[in-house]
Amino acid sequence: MNWKKAASILIPTVSILGFSQLCTKFYRYGFARVDPPLTPETDDPEYLAAYQEFSQWFNRQKKEQWWLYSDDPSNRIHAVYLPNPRPTKKAVVIAHGYHGNAQMMAAYAQLFQELGYHVLMPDNRGHGESAGRWINFGWLDRLDYLDWCLDLIDHLGSDCELLLFGVSMGGAITMMMSGEDLPPQVKAIIEDCGYSSLHEQLAYRAKVEFHLPQFPTLPIASLINRIVLGFSLNDVNSLQALAKNTRPIFFIHGEKDDYVPTSMCYKNFAATSAPKEMWIVPNAKHAEAFAIDPEAYRDRVSWFLSRAGL
């Protein structure tokens, strides 16, 4: 074999192997479990002070520790339940975001408790006190959340009324739940800055953070994910679920979101024919809508809930 022929075989092979290794690193970077610090890493003293205030509120609340699949250590899922101090049949299930946990949703828990709801705050798979080495970006979580709804119905009675609420990846979880056969007690959905599909979100992040092309980055990552978690990246799709949705849904997104692009909110809104509302929050970046103007956020949420009959 001459050198030119050997090079024509060797160079593409080495390139493919090298790029495959880079895609594997991309997959590990995006999907491997990362437990966040107890305090947000921020230089903004106002944000940190607000976070600490909500955390102190959360620590003062009466809590119950709930579990799914508790007899299976490799599969068990954790949630914190905050019973409302006033009698009520309303409850909200709050879905946290990527690399978050239940306690990091304390601000929203306080909001909904003040609005008269019991609050259930799960730790998604691969987050918080729940099991899992890998993050599934809501595709498996959506079924866990359905089980959480059934547990709430058992706990509160068949006459209870449930709200689904989520931020970022949590917003995607609630949207993907909307395509499932939900119990009639689930009355409405509020999603804040969730992505339209995992394929589109990862393609955007691969380009922005790693300067990687969609092809073959995402097909390789999808193959790895099918081996690791059992599903394709294309399965994780809010738009397909929203097309089946029949419940009132409120879409919230920051005008200046450059992590989950604001354009995704418009796609999500267009995907469902159910009763719907949308609020693009001026000057808000990713997951900042509540922090930018908590009073307006509360007013908008209350207005939507009244329209939805809650």
Q: 191-210: per-residue pLDDT in tens?
A: 999 999 999 999 999 999 88
Query: Across the chain, what does the average pLDDT equal?
Result: 91
Binned at pLDDT 50, 70 and 90, residue 299 comes out as very high
Residue 34 included in any domain: no
pTM: 0.92
User: Which pair of structure tokens corresponds to residue 16?
Assistant: 């493919």
Q: pLDDT over 70 for what percent of the chain?
A: 90
- Please tell me which residue, 20 or 288, carries the higher pLDDT value: 288
Residue 67 included in any domain: yes
77-82 and 118-122 strand pairing: antiparallel
Binned at pLDDT 50, 70 and 90, residue 9 comes out as very low
Binned at pLDDT 50, 70 and 90, residue 20 comes out as low
Q: 234-288: per-residue pLDDT in tens?
A: 999 999 999 999 999 999 999 999 999 999 999 999 999 999 999 999 999 999 9
Whether residue 118 contacts residue 65, with contact meaning beta carbons closer than 8 Å, is answered with no
Residue 171 included in any domain: yes
Domain count for the chain, please give it.
1
Residue 12 included in any domain: no
What is the span of the domain harbouring residue 51? Answer: 45-197+236-307
pLDDT of 17: 44
CATH number of the domain encompassing residue 275: 3.40.50.1820
Residue 144 included in any domain: yes
Calpha distance 261→265 (Å, rounded):
8
Binned at pLDDT 50, 70 and 90, residue 229 comes out as very high
Residue 169 included in any domain: yes
Mean pLDDT on 73-90: 96
Total residue count of the chain as it appears in this document = 310
292-298's contacts with Cβ under 8 Å and 24+ in sequence apart are 292/254, 294/107, 294/111, 297/111, 297/252, 298/111, 298/115
Residue 286 included in any domain: yes
Q: pLDDT over 90 for what percent of the chain?
A: 80
Residue 303 included in any domain: yes
Binned at pLDDT 50, 70 and 90, residue 40 comes out as low
- What are the two backbone dihedrals, phi and then psi, of residue 91, each rounded to the nearest 5 degrees? -145, 150
Closest by CA to 79, choosing from 91, 90, 58, 95, is 95
Q: 135-171: per-residue pLDDT in tens?
A: 999 999 999 999 999 999 999 999 999 999 999 999 9
User: Which pair of structure tokens corresponds to residue 113?
Assistant: 């408790």
- Please tell me which residue, 24 or 47, carries the higher pLDDT value: 24
pLDDT of 199: 97
Mean pLDDT on 124-130: 97
